[in-house]
Copies of this chain bind each other. A is one copy, B any other.
Amino acid sequence: MQKRLILTAGINSTGYLADSWRHVGGSPLVFAEFDHYLRTTRIAHAGTLDAVFFSDHPALGADPAQRPLHSFEPLTLSTALAVAVPDIGFEITVSSTYSAPYDLARRLATLDHISGGRVICNIVSSFNPAVAANYGSAPLPPREARYRQAHEFMSVVGALLDSWELRRPADPQAGLWDPDFARPIGHRGEFYNVAGPLNVPRDRQRRALIGQAGASGPGLDFAVAYGEIIYCSLLSLSAARAFRDELHKRAIAKGRDVGSLRVVPGLVPIIGRSREEALERHEAVSGTGSEEGLLRRFARDAGIDYGALDPDAPVSGDLFTTTADQQRPAGFSQALAELARHERITPRQFVRRVEGGHRLVAGTADDIAADIIAWWRSGIVDGFNIQAPVLPDDLSDFVEQVVPRLQDAGIFPRHYESGSLRERFGLTQEASSDRYLKGSGSA
């Protein structure tokens, strides 16, 4: 099956940007109202987007000036939305550090049945001490241990999801199901001991698609072992090419078919009737208020004195370094460093290229559509996770103004295809099953 453009919509309460709550049309308290998520999902559905994507941290931030980035539990919320909205998929974020494999496998299989195979499970290893404090007294494990745990977690979840098939009709003489096809998994490992089998039979798309968002070395190894939809921050085409090459190199080294990977970077669209209007909206919704505000924030994030910043001198890639156990996604720092290394770029340009960690495209609907079409035709990426700054308004603008241009260009469907997400994406069960077995063996 030919690859096709994947477009998903990131949903983070009032929008992708921290200041979005000051810009939502109604009350900013919509972050705790089901109707807000329903309305947003229906807008995404009107644009035939492939999925809505719920990131997650199970913790409330301490700063009341920040909106709660995450509130409702994503799998529960997605289940409700799946009943109310057809066709569209649901990408839910789950921590491999703080979930029981049996629980996750069971909930995933339940939602996959209910939704008819519309689930992508985005596995993250938690990096937030506030999350750790809600799940016990142990400090957050170091990154390396968290990824080792994540590997074992996935291999157990995969084995559970495969542990029970209903292969023949019930037989009043022999029983309701065939015990040959309900196999205990008998897993005994470093982090988990799980008997199995799962009490939910194999689901419609056989197994939820697996998303993965870590771009560090251990994150990439995890991606090629289990991931299918790879989320990342890619700020330039050259950085995207380098990332894809590295991902494919690691995949090939593990015997993974690179055709079963989809690279889907984040994209923050800010749409104006003119480029100037888009830049003004960027200053407003970013909370910086002006170009100077953007530059001041850049200086602060890079740890340099604003007074010493020359906004028109090239940025050094060394400004953005990653430490092994930093408390933020390694991928974001890496992406910033890559951008500075790959291009001769000034702070004034830089602040218009990235927002909230992801690639910013501020301009007219034509500008944004042209950018997406160019990236897609490069063949380097498989799609984009659209991070609308303010929800639902910016997503609505994207669906009404940008999506039709992609459809007119023939790179995005006007209607939903039938079947599970796995089928629509051409990520067949056979490839998936092989991969899981390999992943399991190497864990």
Residues of A with Cβ closer than 8 Å to B?
21-22, 27-29, 32-34, 57-60, 62-68, 70-73, 75-77, 79-80, 82-84, 98-100, 102-103, 106-107, 110-111, 113-114, 130, 133-137, 164, 166, 169-170, 172, 174-179, 182, 188, 192-201
Contact = CB atoms under 8 A, between A and B. Distances in A.
A135 B83 contact: no
Q: Which of A75, A178, A179, A200 has the most CB of B within 10 A?
A: A200
Nearest to A172: B22
Contacts of A197: 60
Number of copies: 2
Contacts of A22: 172
A32 to B, nearest CB: 5
Contacts of A67: 176
Contact of A80 (B68, B82, B175): B82
Contacts of A188: 137
Nearest to A198: B60
Contacts of A58: 102-103, 106, 199
Nearest to A196: B134
Contact of A169 (B29, B75, B194, B196): B29
A161 to B, nearest CB: 13
A78 to B, nearest CB: 9
A75 B76 contact: yes
A27 B177 CA distance: 12
A73 B107 contact: yes
Contact of A32 (B28, B113, B194): B113
Contact of A201 (B32, B100, B201): B32
A62 B180 CA distance: 11
A176 B76 contact: no
A27 B113 contact: no
A354 B80 CA distance: 38
A175 B100 contact: no
B102 A170 contact: no
A106 B60 CA distance: 11
B77 A114 contact: yes
Contact of A170 (B27, B134, B179): B27
Contacts of A102: 58, 134-135
A107 to B, nearest CB: 5
Which one of A22, A98, A170, A172 has the highest number of Cβ atoms from chain B below 10 Å of its Cβ?
A: A170
B60 A182 contact: yes
A110 B58 CA distance: 12
A173 to B, nearest CB: 9
Contact of A64 (B83, B114, B179): B179
A32 B164 CA distance: 12
A162 to B, nearest CB: 14
A83 B103 CA distance: 22
B106 A73 contact: yes
Contacts of A182: 60, 64
A178 B103 CA distance: 34
Nearest to A84: B83
A291 B309 CA distance: 92
A69 to B, nearest CB: 9
19 contacts: A21-B176, A22-B172, A29-B170, A32-B201, A58-B102, A60-B182, A64-B174, A64-B177, A66-B175, A70-B199, A71-B200, A73-B103, A73-B110, A76-B79, A80-B82, A98-B103, A134-B195, A136-B192, A136-B194
A33 B176 contact: no
Contacts of A134: 102, 194-196
Contacts of A83: 80, 83-84
B201 A114 contact: no
Contacts of A113: 32-34, 72
Contacts of A176: 21, 28-29, 64-68
A59 B34 CA distance: 32
A308 B58 CA distance: 61
